[in-house]
Structure 1
Amino acid sequence: MTTSARPATPTRPGEVGLTSVTDVQDVVERARDRYLAAVVADTSGWSDGDRRRLEDLGFRGGDARGEAVRTLDLTIAEDGTPTRLLDNPALASLNSHHARFAERRGEVARYLPDVSVWTGVPARPTPQDWDDVRTLLGTGAVFGVGADAVLPDGWQTVESAGGVQLTGEAVPGAPDPEAVELTPEDVPEILGLIARTKPGPFLPRTIELGRYVGIRRDGRLVAMAGERLHPPGWTEISAVCTDERFRGQGFGRRLVLDVAYGIRQRGETPLMHAAAGNTGAIGLYQHLGFRLRERGAPLFVQVP
């Protein structure tokens, strides 16, 4: 006879609780498609056979929440590294640390329009997911999906300059004595710097996604960097830019290391994204210790 379990209370962002062994396969598959970090269950009162069934599926014990808790780690990528969440960092973020910024339709999620341009779509979109994308984003919107996604009839990919992803497992970072914390009051000045330097989209509420720092000269903001996407265990460093008149002084390098240090201090790992053609930035990040992560190039699709 199958027994039910008390759901283990998720304590880490991106965890989902399993309430019964009867629906374990469905819960696990949905959690994988949504890029959640783990499935947890409190197996107190379960039969030995049901507990072994979980263990056969890869659930492991030894959780600090008690001997009865079994956890299935969903972060492991095909190469064995704990980077699977980075295949879809937007959805992993919106289903964990950044859930409060999410606008949802079914399993599809996007950031609120004044926060970020990123949209997260499940790994294997269903017909319902595509309908939800259309409803959530509207005709003409462009968004990214995994390289293996099968597009419905009438949906087309659009040309993209492409991008790369870099991970900073070997980057300890270093605090910078000149880095100043930026606040929402600084947003008008930040938007001015973004407009001059064009590092990528920065919206009125993007600053709420994490810690942003800058360097000032004569009271004016001349360089900045900060935190954007936040999958469990990772934080993206973004908006790295320097006013043209102050380039060549190492401000970008210093601010990346400052932000990376803050990420490391809370036990997480920094990551970065860069346009594939921005070889200067990619070279700098690699010099700092970031490594290029191989993954299938995402498809960019326009809603018909």
Structure 2
Amino acid sequence: MTTSADATDLTRPGEVALTTASDVGAVVALARRRYAAAVVADTTGWADGDRRRIEDLGFREGDARGAALRTLDLSVADDGTPTRVLDNPALASLNGHHARFAERRGEVARYLPDVSVWTGIPSEPTEQDWDDVRALLGPGAVFGVGASAVLPEGWTAVEGSGGVQLTGETVEGAPDPEAVELTPDDVPEILELIARTQPGPFLPRTIELGRYVGVRREGRLVAMAGERLHPPGWTEISAVCTDAGFRGQGLGRRLVLDVAYGIRQRGETPLMHAAAGNTGAIGLYQHLGFRLRDRGAPRFAQVP
């Protein structure tokens, strides 16, 4: 790997330049100058929205130009995790891998209403950002805010809705022989299982966010888990649930490990969120090797 911001150091197709340039224009110029090679931009210290400017300039994931330029935050969060994107995973997802699911106003983004309930706002919102949240979500809407965000006067925190974030740097996962891939055709049955087990919101198009797997018994879906938020280098495991009649068989544990294995096969790291009061789930995830982060725990506020 080349670690210079000078494209003249790249001599063979497929080499990677890691640049610490802080200017978006300089990063784009580097990618355009040596098109056959990839450029990975260290975005430490970039202002919120700069990563999205890369896409606005035509470097989109899934096409040739997107393959020529990647962003990577190499800064260290306060708890020692070697990335800060986990402090704001929804915005990192919507400004990257999940940009196609985003509705935007200024620097604020939310998932399409039939895809996910998550909203991403800058870590330190400005007055304009709060105005954009109000316009995008509407009065009464509940949304997640970062640990450093200070709510404006008249905006209220939602009590009792706190959560925890867990990271799986040491979780390798394992494929499960009973797990079956779930598709959009399975959504009606998935929604029935979600209604019975209440693991958290799952909407008609949530399945499009990633890979979902389940276990069937006598043709009936009785357990599932899948992928939701997708900040750079990480994938969240979500919608972990088991029908009451089939609990105690380790199905949730097995499906979490199956999903984690798929994430690892892509070279990424699994991530999880859980309600702070769900000590049973938190204990299970820690037993599997996930660790609690000191930062990134979701808290929620309501638009006045």
Shorter-chain-normalised TM-score: which range? 0.7 to 0.9
CA distance in 1, matches of 2:251, 2:158: 35
1:244-292 CA-to-partner distances (Å, cap 9, x unmatched) read 0000011001100000000000000001011111111111111111111
TM-score by length of structure 2 reads: 0.79
Task: Please state whether the residue corresponding to 1:164 is helix, strand or coil.
Answer: strand
Q: Which runs of 5+ in 2 are unaligned?
A: 1-5, 8-15, 28-42, 55-66
SS in 2 for 1:103: strand
With over 3 angstroms needed to count, the CA separation of the structure-2 counterparts of 1:35 and 1:246, relative to structure 1, is farther
User: In structure 1, what is the Cα distance between the partners aligned to 2:235 and 2:207?
Assistant: 14
Aligned partner of 1:18 in structure 2 is: 24
Separation (CA, whole Å) in 2 of partners of 1:233 and 1:81 = 12
- The alpha-carbon deviation at position 149 of structure 1 amounts to 1.5
Residue of structure 1 equivalent to 2:130: 130
Q: What residue is the counterpart of 1:197 in the other structure?
A: 197
CA deviation after TM superposition for structure 1 residue 35, in Å? 8.9
The question of whether the paired residues in 1 share the 8 Å contact of 2:226 and 2:237 is answered with yes
1:114-263 → structure 2 map (5 Å cutoff)? 114-263=114-263
The one-letter code matched in structure 1 to 2:48 is D
2:48 to 23, 27, 33: 33
Q: Which runs of 5+ in 1 are unaligned?
A: 22-27, 40-63
What secondary structure is seen at the aligned counterpart in 1 of 2:164? strand
**TM-score, reference length from structure 1:** 0.79
SS in 1 for 2:235: strand
Q: Structure 1 residue 189: deviation in Å?
A: 0.1
Aligned to 1:55: none
RMSD: 3.1
* Separation of aligned partners in 2, 1:221 and 1:287: 25
Judge conservation of contact 1:35–1:92 (CA < 8 Å) in 2: no
How many percent identity over aligned positions? 79
Please report how far the alpha carbon of residue 160 of structure 1 lies from its aligned counterpart in structure 2 after TM superposition. 2.6
Regions of 4+ moved over 6 Å: none
The alpha-carbon deviation at position 19 of structure 1 amounts to 1.1
Superposition deviation, residue 11 in structure 1:
11
- Which residue pairs with 1:56 in the alignment? none
Give the drift of 1:301: 1.4
Q: For the Cα contact (< 8 Å) 2:167–2:272, is it kept in 1?
A: yes
2:25 maps to a residue whose letter is T
Q: 1:148 deviation in Å?
A: 2.0
Instruction: Give the aligned residue type for 1:226.
Output: G
Q: 1:185 to 1:297 in 2, by over 3 A?
A: closer
Q: Name the aligned partner's letter for residue 132 of structure 1.
A: D
Aligned equivalents of 1:290, 1:80: Cα separation in 2:
15
